[in-house]
Structure 1
Amino acid sequence: MLTVLFAAPSLWPEYQEPLPRALAEAGIDARLVTKAAPEAVDYIVYAPSSPLQDFTPYTRTKAVLNLWAGVERIVGNPTLTQPLCRMVDPGLTEGMVEWVTGHTLRHHLGMDRHIVNPGHVWDPACPPLARERGVTILGMGALGAACAAALRALNFPVTGWSRTAKPGCLHGEEGLREALARAEILVTLLPKTPETENLLNGRTLAMLPRGAVILNPGRGALIDDAALIAALDAGQVGHATLDVFRIEPLPQDHPFWSHPGVTVTPHIAADTRASTAAHVIAENIRRGEAGEPFLHLVDRTRGY
């Protein structure tokens, strides 16, 4: 019988029923525990907020299975020598697609001016059609590709940019310049790495069409906060809808709260759903026992 350590105490109430059920459905004979002797643990189900930070004693552990899509808070841990898998959860992907599509349509249609209209202004101005509004997505992994497919289905011309070459995507510095120039609506879905931190700064924000809208459900550190405020004040950026921040919860004195050109959503664009994530965890344990490649294995050199 395998020993699976659930090392994410705050999330245990969500997983204590669906995860054993998913393991059983996958035919895995496992003992799911919240405490165990390190030398007896075969797999660790993990969240970066876990008190477990020293992986050295876990000599038998075959993989650490992260419950979050982001791994920046764990990937650099020098004691972590076991394979690390990030979470790519179908429920999380669906949630991200819904948030990105909803806010893209909100800004495309100019819905805010009708929803909040204290002066009762009758403004019959019609928006362009979706096919006339360029959308750029920075980061064309599983989430970016799913969002691109949904937006293209609505006839938005979507430009994808990736840090590395991918079919159908722009990449590199010149590709970034072209991608930003097309972005009437810009969606950022990149991971946080040394290369992506502050990718949107004073220089790159100036590459956007004037009045462009930014949607950031990716990582807070992708955007230089001060540069974004300056671009909003200058009219270079028309609005920013932000779901992720360098410090969360966003401090009450942060200028984003009071800026008329910023919408703050409280990190709700995509969440891991226990009901679907449990099956991803179970499948990776099945693969580990069958000698098959793990799903969503993290490349330590790239940081995700």
Structure 2
Amino acid sequence: MTVNVLFSARRELWPIYEPLLSRGLSDAGLDFALGTELEPAEVDYVVYAPNGGLRDFSPLTRLRAVLSLWAGVENIADNETLTVPLARMVDHGLTQGMTEWVVGHVLRYHLGMDAHINAAEGEWNPVAPPLAADRSVSILGLGVLGEAAARALAALNFRVTGWSRSRKDIPGVTCLHGPEGLRRALSDAEIVVLLLPNTAATENTLNPETLALLPKGARIINPGRGQLIDDDALLVALDEGQVGHATLDVFRTEPLPPEHPYWSHPNVTVTPHIASETRPATAAQVICENIRRGEAGKPFLHLVDRSLGY
């Protein structure tokens, strides 16, 4: 029986993904039809991105699973027309890219690189940074991306604390959970990295109350979701010196509007949502493996708990 796979993502990605998916499905020994326009009632799987235009899944009466190309699923998890399993993207290319970005910016703060780059001509200030073992970093969110970043920083001897909603155990990382765990994770954090999903429970995780828990002058790095931070509260904390600097890669509105105060704030670094993105070569492998598993009657990988939103 032919397996029909609908590709619903930006059209310009189709020429990139088509040969990768075709090769992967062929290697899996499947008879398949793959395209951007298929008869809805005959579609078995959807390779999905929110910007692909598909919103109503009800005509896809034979649908077995939706396989997202994105790690975040907040734009689809509450779709009432989606009644089949939803898998989010977890692949080693995306994970490695995020780990490299997070480690790079933690080291930038740790080593004081901004001060060196912005030093006035002739300025000579030979102040060495502490060793990593004397620097505390807290990772909020210990999913696949957060755990990978925490492990990498711990391998560099940073004092790493990780916080998650549920209990985790990662060698070399102090793992905390729950409301009291969040307070502890923030109270000792010289550098905070946000890698939580965007859900009703995580919105404004950093707010006036939690920002006040940080050691004065703490640094914030957010490659997770813009909704994790109360923007007004962060701007106040920056102006008052409670937060020393923030590096922000994600925002509530993207692209970040030109008039937004983050652009001109002297203690904010804006990066254009580049911390990591799905790599087609590795993402196609994950998609094809999930289709192979579905056709073999095996459990899908990386399924979303839609009650939690991730």
- TM score, norm. by length of structure 1: 0.98
Q: CA deviation at 1:164?
A: 1.5
Distance 1:17 1:272 in 2: 16
Letter in 2 for 1:160: G
After TM superposition, the structure 1 = structure 2 runs for residues 66-105 of structure 1, keeping only pairs within 5 Å, are: 66-105=68-107
Q: CA deviation at 1:119?
A: 4.1
Residue 210 of structure 1: aligned partner: 216
Deviates more, 1:209-218 or 1:29-38: 29-38
What is the aligned counterpart of 2:264 among 234, 240, 258? Answer: 258
3-state SS in 1 of match to 2:52: coil
What is the aligned counterpart of 2:195 among 180, 189, 212? Answer: 189
Residue 303 of structure 1: aligned partner: 309
3-state SS in 1 of match to 2:139: strand
Distance 1:240 1:24 in 2: 46
3-state SS in 1 of match to 2:50: coil
Residue 176 of structure 1: aligned partner: 182
Task: Verify the 8 A CA contact 1:23 1:279 in the aligned structure 2.
Answer: no
Distance 1:81 1:102 in 2: 40
Q: CA deviation at 1:52?
A: 1.0
Residue 128 of structure 1: aligned partner: 130
3-state SS in 2 of match to 1:282: helix
Q: CA deviation at 1:120?
A: 3.2
Distance 1:119 1:230 in 2: 31
Task: Verify the 8 A CA contact 1:130 1:155 in the aligned structure 2.
Answer: yes
Letter in 2 for 1:240: A
Q: How many aligned residue pairs are there?
A: 304
Q: CA deviation at 1:204?
A: 0.2
Letter in 2 for 1:135: V
Residue 245 of structure 2: aligned partner: 239
Q: CA deviation at 1:38?
A: 0.8
3-state SS in 1 of match to 2:197: coil
Residue 18 of structure 1: aligned partner: 20
Letter in 1 for 2:176: L
After TM superposition, the structure 1 = structure 2 runs for residues 143-162 of structure 1, keeping only pairs within 5 Å, are: 143-162=145-164
What is the aligned counterpart of 1:273 among 266, 276, 279? Answer: 279
Task: Verify the 8 A CA contact 1:232 1:239 in the aligned structure 2.
Answer: yes
Q: CA deviation at 1:298?
A: 0.4
Q: CA deviation at 1:59?
A: 1.1
Residue 248 of structure 1: aligned partner: 254
Distance 1:118 1:277 in 2: 45
Letter in 1 for 2:276: A
RMSD: 0.9
Distance 1:13 1:198 in 2: 39
Distance 1:62 1:15 in 2: 21
Task: Verify the 8 A CA contact 1:219 1:244 in the aligned structure 2.
Answer: yes
Whether 1:7 aligns to 2:4 is no
3-state SS in 2 of match to 1:16: helix
Gapped regions of structure 1 (runs ≥ 5): none
User: Matched residues, percent identical?
Assistant: 65
